[in-house]
Amino acid sequence: MRRVGTGDALAIRALTARKLPRLTSLAARMLGDFAEAEDVAQESLIRAWRQAPVWRFGEARFDTWLHRVAVNLCRDRLRRRRPGSAEELDGLVDSGPAPDRGLEARDVGDRVAAAMAVLPPRQREALVLCHYQEMGNIEAAAVLGISVEALESLLSRGRRSLRAALADLVP
């Protein structure tokens, strides 16, 4: 961050190469729109570059701070969206049979994505951070600004909702 703060182009490229894919993945899972996710990831990095010259080392982990910025930007975008109609949600899931067995995994992925999309935002955020971003509970709780116990409660409720929504997939 010190080198980024001084405008070191090599450090900026290294930071971007290391963080952009993970931030894009996080935002895509939360927003369900890859183009919008790219915008969020880029905006998160722009904020990091702006913060770099005044970054106070030892006060917060940079990764935790950066993920929190991305989560907050996703929340802002989700708040600006108008509530989706039932027709929009129906379009997220292909309920027809798969043409061949090779598409079964994609169908399951689509079902999971649709089930995640209808979860309450905080439950979705907790699940994305812990399961898709592979953060530990302590780090995910810090990103969300909640206690570890509150995070575990969100995870438990989110998993229960997903289990109920996807019950027909279990043999």
pLDDT in tens, 119-155: 999 999 999 999 888 889 999 999 999 999 999 999 9
DSSP readout, 38-63? HHHHHHHHHHHHHHGGG--TTTS-HH
pTM for this prediction: 0.62
Are 121 and 75 in contact by the 8 Å Cβ rule? The answer is: yes
What's the CATH architecture for 99-171? Orthogonal Bundle (1.10)
pLDDT at residue 37 is higher than 90: yes
Q: Does domain 1-81 have CATH number 1.10.3720.10?
A: no
Taking every pair of Cα atoms in the chain, the longest distance, rounded to a whole number of angstroms, is 57
The phi-psi region of residue 167 (left if phi > 0; otherwise alpha if psi is between -120 and 50; otherwise beta) is: alpha
Are 38 and 24 in contact by the 8 Å Cβ rule? The answer is: yes
- Where in the chain are all domains bearing CATH 1.10.1740.10? 1-81
Distance CA 150, CA 53 (A): 34
For the chain, what percent of residues have pLDDT higher than 90?
37
Distance CA 91, CA 57 (A): 46
Q: Enumerate long-range contacts of 153-156, CB under 8 Å, 24 or more apart.
A: 154/122, 154/123, 154/125, 154/126, 154/127, 155/123, 155/126, 155/127, 155/130
- Where in the chain are all domains bearing CATH 1.10.10.10? 99-171
What CA–CA distances, in Å, run from 139 to 131, 148, 151?
13, 9, 10
Q: What is the DSSP letter of 81?
A: S
Distance CA 169, CA 154 (A): 23
Label residue 112 by pLDDT band (50, 70, 90). Answer: confident
Tell me which of 30 and 60 has the higher pLDDT.
30
